[in-house]
Each structure stands twice: as structure tokens, then as C-alpha cells.
Structure 1
Amino acid sequence: MLKHLVLAFAMLALAPLAAQAQDFKEGEDYDLITPPIRTTTGDKVEVVEFFWYGCGHCYSFEPLIGQWKKGLAEDVQFVGSPAVWNKPMELHAKAFYTAEVLGVGEAMHPVLFQAMNVDRKRLQSDKEIKALFTANGVSAEDFDKAYNSFGVNSQVRQANSRARAAKITGTPEMMVNGKYRISTRKAGSQANMLKVADFLIEKERAAGE
């Protein structure tokens, strides 16, 4: 019994080393972004997730990436970036940044995902989005002020520009430090996307030393 326990602990100890040793290749597992995109997180390694609230794949990715974010080191900054390909998606991006401005992002992020993927609400009007916020404790006045603000509209434009510059082709996709794009198609699975992200974070960390 003791021998089995020692073996189990040894395997657990070696697991991180095995993960670190895993090598991913540009063009096969991830893509290089050229020219690189300017980051907004200073000296930290920036990891961006491009998503859309109406995307079923993003909805299934949410628990995985939520758990993954909890283990990020202090020198890594995660940034959510809503994709904006049409007018309804622009409204959903405004909802995301409105929640961030009001300090209710953590509460409203899952609410917005559930509304579109579980409750089958299309959220194609300002009125529908406002109703969702007010139903979750945000005052109508606060919502209107943030939703129609210059700051929120500016962030939506920046998100659109970021996605175009990264040449994303779907959601969810990830970008590491403005240099690398990770897609499910290249990585092979959503779980592998996070492994590739870990690999690239370490690559950028080593390059900055």
C-alpha cells in the first residue's frame, strides 16, 4: 500500500514537468500574428479571449477558462474581448463593457451567457439588454448612463479593431501577448487551447527575462 502511495505522489510531482516539456509548434498548434498587436497590460503577459455571448462553444468554454484563470500567476493579465461582426454582436459587446464599467461584470457575465444559450433570448435590442440588467439588480438610470457612455462605445470600437487585427475566424479564440493566436481548430480542443496558452505564456515569460 505504501509503495503505491509513494508512486502516486511521484507521478503527481512529475506531472507539471511533463506539461512544461510539452512542445507546441507555430503553424500547427497556434498561429503567429503579424504584425503583432500592441498590448494594454504593461509589463504583464496579456492573454485575450475573443468570445460572443451567443456562441455555444464559448458557453461550454466558460467553465474551463474560469477555472484556468484562477491559477494564473501575477505576471499574467487576462482580458475578455467580445467579437463584433454585426449589429446584434455590437449590442452584446456593449452589454459586456457596461457590466465592467458598473462593476458587475462577474455577476452579469454568466447571466448574459445563460440568457442567450439556455433561455434562448436573442438580445437584439437595447430594451432587452436593459431589462436583463435591471432584473439583476442594476438601476435603470445607472444602466442608461453606462450603456450610452463614450467610454463603453470606445471600448466596443477597440474590441472590434483588436479582433480584426488578430484576424480571428471564430469564437472562442485566444491571443497571447499580441503575438500568438490560438484556435480550437489548430489546438484540437478547448482543453488544449489552454495548454497552448500556458506554453506561450512561458515562452513570453522566458523571452522577457
Structure 2
Amino acid sequence: MGARLLALGLLFLLPLLGAAHGVPAEGSDYVRIEGGQPWQAEPGTIEVVEVFAYPCGHCDRFAPMLADWARKAGPDVRVRYVPAAYQPTDAYARAWFALEALGETRLHQRLFDAVHREGSLPGRGATIAEVGSFLVGEGLDAARVRAAMGSPATDAKMNAAREFAIRSGIQGTPTLIINGRYRIQARSLQDALHIADGLVAMERAAAR
């Protein structure tokens, strides 16, 4: 009888032990995305997507935290950035896809700086010409920037980003999506990264 009671006691303790070790709880820490798909599938890797917006103050604060987390996340983790492209004319979302196309994603943080620290770009209503001019001022070729921001490939990425956000149930930025399957619901920016750690561990275990 004593052994049985001890076993039952351990079973009751398991959820508490899991929570203490940072095991994410479905419904409170994350939502399972029905039929969710990764943004850019790559076999053998775990994709962590940040849906972000340059004018978003929380995204600005999160950017260095996520970059630091990504450096320690492990070789099997791929952090990808998807702008919240709710409008096809959104200049900031187009800027990100232009930077990707031009191989200039090093300027990601500079766009945050321009909006939130320097005031050289507006927080609302920025035009494609304004954002393009800023990128040229950072040393990029004007014709290449203009072509990349207005290309059919960027149009397609904008549509894909909007569809990704809708099917993932994005309600605000920044939001992390793990492998297209889980949308993190965090109480703080640091909490989002703790939950991401747990979900990455879950995905690693499931792949074994």
C-alpha cells in the first residue's frame, strides 16, 4: 500500500516537475496551429519564425534579445523573420523582403534604429520612397533597392506573409511561431524565449 501511495504521489507531482523545468503548457503558453506549415521548410531543422513590424516598440526591444537567443539556440534551429504584411503597400514589410533579396539583412537593426531612436523614418505611414531613400543612405544602390521593393517576387512574398499570419492566428507583434505548428502566447518578451526553448526541445524529442 505504501509503495502504491508513493507511486500515485509521484504521478501527481509530474505536472509540477514539468512546469518547474519549463515544459510549455498548451493553451496558456502556446496554441497549436491546426494545419500549420513552416514558412520555409528545411529538413532536419527546427524553424522559429518571428512575425514582426518595424514600427512596433515591442519588436524593437525584442530584436537584440532574439538575436542573442538565436546565437545560442543550436545548429538545428533556423530563426526566420516574417514582417506583418497586412497591406500590400506596407513599405517596411517590402523593405525586409528587399533586404533579403539583396543579401543585406545586416540592415535589419538599422531600420529599427531609424524609427525608434533616430526618428529618420516615421513610425506610421512611411512611403516606399522614404524607406528606399533610407536604405540608399545606408550604402545600397538606388536602382537595385527600387527594383527589389517593387518586384513580382516581393509581391509574392507579401501575399505569402499575409497568408502565413492569418493561418497562424497572429494577433499582434512580435509573435513567435515554432515549425509552423505552435504560436507562442507569452506574458513578457523574455517569457516568449523561455517558451521557445521548451517547444524547440519538444520538437527535437519528437524528431528522434
Pair in the same fold by TM > 0.5 = yes
| Secondary structure at 2:154 match in 1 | helix
Q: Give the greater-gyration-radius structure (CA).
A: 2
Q: Which runs of 5+ in 2 are unaligned?
A: 1-17
Q: CA deviation at 1:40?
A: 2.0
Q: CA deviation at 1:21?
A: 2.7
Runs of at least 4 residues off by over 3 Å: none
CA distance in 2, matches of 1:176, 1:196: 10
| Secondary structure at 1:118 match in 2 | helix
Q: Which residue of 2 aligns with 1:70?
A: 71
Q: Which residue of 2 aligns with 1:21?
A: 21
Letter in 2 for 1:155: K
CA contact (8 A) 2:49 2:81 kept: yes
Under a length normalisation based on structure 1, what TM-score does the superposition of the two structures give? 0.83
CA distance in 2, matches of 1:153, 1:91: 12
Letter in 2 for 1:149: S
Deviation by residue 1:71-115 (Cα, 9 ceiling, x = unmatched): 121211111000023356x22111001011111111x11111112
Q: CA deviation at 1:158?
A: 0.9
Q: Which residue of 1 aligns with 2:5?
A: none
**Equivalences for residues 14-93 of structure 1 within 5 A:** 21-43=21-43, 44-86=45-87, 90-93=90-93
CA distance in 2, matches of 1:38, 1:134: 32
| Secondary structure at 2:184 match in 1 | strand
CA distance in 2, matches of 1:23, 1:100: 34
CA distance in 1, matches of 2:39, 2:130: 33
CA distance in 2, matches of 1:55, 1:76: 25
CA distance in 2, matches of 1:127, 1:36: 35
**Equivalences for residues 1-209 of structure 1 within 5 A:** 21-43=21-43, 44-86=45-87, 90-106=90-106, 108-120=107-119, 121-122=121-122, 124-183=126-185, 187-209=186-208
Letter in 2 for 1:55: C
Aligned residues: 187
CA contact (8 A) 1:41 1:77 kept: no
CA distance in 2, matches of 1:19, 1:117: 36
Q: Which runs of 5+ in 1 are unaligned?
A: 1-17
Percent of pairs with identical residues: 31
CA RMSD in angstroms, aligned pairs only: 1.9
CA contact (8 A) 1:20 1:199 kept: no
CA distance in 1, matches of 2:38, 2:131: 31
